[in-house]
């Protein structure tokens, strides 16, 4: 099975390549013919580039891990956000249909407005507040419109091999004795390890559709920071603050917990609790941080 991965230098892309290679190694054969691509080989916002690359390589599955993920920068760079997050997804969707490939597209909790009191299910109303969320939602719509065999997986609070909240907190703790973290935004920290596993399992099936894909359980950014410092035995004072006191260009969802309802229905919800996944991550990446 030929698997094309876009954005393979990003957090999720790297983990997917690792897991697919490990599967090949463990069964001592090339079950997955992996084609990792970066922006240099395949710029998803360039339709001609996407079309020629995909029609030439004819993958069986395309996993789109490429995105413009800097949410604050999206507010200033609206065109870039839409070019990558919306048109990029459209370009891949059109090309995937031409070669009859399945398309796994990754989306976000930011498609919701965050005012719910209950975890969002897949059919809840989308209403993004930010440029990032709006551009990602348009990407989802293009995928639904132009791909005939798609999986859209909405994830959140992702961490893996790359820049993320966990590394920011640990780096910050090296030079500071206290840190302010918001305690009124809730979500589910999600490990790329858990997400990549679900992607690999679902892409083998024909359970096409929209899925919520986050680790189980929920917490605030404050709770998450406390947990990271506790697990790393870092002595730092964590001060809870409110979102209104945290300067940000982006209106972030207050409550963006996602219910993996559809994954549970098809029996593929292998996500662990967020506390378990972060513990494993901090052990694994001890040297790198």
Told to check if 11 binds ligand NAP by CB under 6 A, we report: yes
Q: What's the Rg (C-alpha) of the chain?
A: 19
Active site residue 68: no
Told to check if 224 binds ligand NAP by CB under 6 A, we report: no
Rounded Cα gap, residues 276 and 264, in angstroms: 19
How many CA atoms lie less than 13 Å away from 46 in the CB half-sphere? 12
Nearest to ligand NAP of 106, 193 (CB atom)? 106
Told to check if 255 binds ligand NAP by CB under 6 A, we report: no
Nearest to ligand NAP of 27, 248 (CB atom)? 248
Q: 3-state class of 205 per DSSP?
A: coil
Told to check if 185 binds ligand NAP by CB under 6 A, we report: no
Select from 8-16, 121-129, 219-227, 238-246 the region that touches ligand NAP (CB under 6 A).
8-16
Told to check if 88 binds ligand NAP by CB under 6 A, we report: yes
Count the neighbouring beta carbons within 10 Å of the beta carbon of residue 127. Answer: 14
Nearest to ligand NAP of 107, 173 (CB atom)? 107
Count the neighbouring beta carbons within 10 Å of the beta carbon of residue 239. Answer: 11
Rounded Cα gap, residues 270 and 197, in angstroms: 8
Told to check if 260 binds ligand NAP by CB under 6 A, we report: no
Q: Region of 184 please: left (phi>0), alpha (psi -120 to 50) or beta.
A: alpha
Determine which one of 82, 132, 211, 281 is catalytic. Answer: 132
Residues of this chain that bind ligand NAP (CB under 6 A): 6-7, 9-12, 39, 43-45, 65-69, 84, 88, 106, 108, 136, 155-158, 162
């Amino acid at each position: 099975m030929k698997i094309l991965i876009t954005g393979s230098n990003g957090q999720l892309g790297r983990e997917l390549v690792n897991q697919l290679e490990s599967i090949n190694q463990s069964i001592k054969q090339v079950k997955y013919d992996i084609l990792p691509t970066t922006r240099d080989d395949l710029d998803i916002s360039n339709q001609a580039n996407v079309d020629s690359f995909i029609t030439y390589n004819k993958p069986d599955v395309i996993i789109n891990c490429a995105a413009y993920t800097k949410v604050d920068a999206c507010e200033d760079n609206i065109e870039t956000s839409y070019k990558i997050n919306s048109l990029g997804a459209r370009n891949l969707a059109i090309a995937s249909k031409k070669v009859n490939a399945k398309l796994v597209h990754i989306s976000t909790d930011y498609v919701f407005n965050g005012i719910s009191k209950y975890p969002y299910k897949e059919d809840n109303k989308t209403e993004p507040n930010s440029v990032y969320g709006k551009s990602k939602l348009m990407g989802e719509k293009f995928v639904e419109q132009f791909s005939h065999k798609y999986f859209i997986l909405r994830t959140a609070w992702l961490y893996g091999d790359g820049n993320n909240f966990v590394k920011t907190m640990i780096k910050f703790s090296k030079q500071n004795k206290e840190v302010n973290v918001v305690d009124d935004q809730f979500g589910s920290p999600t490990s790329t390890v858990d997400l990549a596993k679900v992607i690999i399992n679902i892409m083998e099936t024909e359970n096409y559709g929209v899925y919520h894909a986050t680790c189980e359980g929920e917490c605030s950014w404050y709770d998450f920071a406390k947990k990271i410092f506790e697990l790393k035995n870092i002595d730092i004072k964590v001060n809870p603050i409110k979102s209104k006191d945290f300067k940000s260009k982006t209106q972030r969802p207050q409550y963006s917990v996602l219910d993996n309802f559809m994954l549970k229905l098809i029996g593929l919800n292998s996500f662990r609790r967020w506390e378990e996944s972060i513990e494993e991550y901090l052990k694994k990446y001890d040297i790198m941080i």
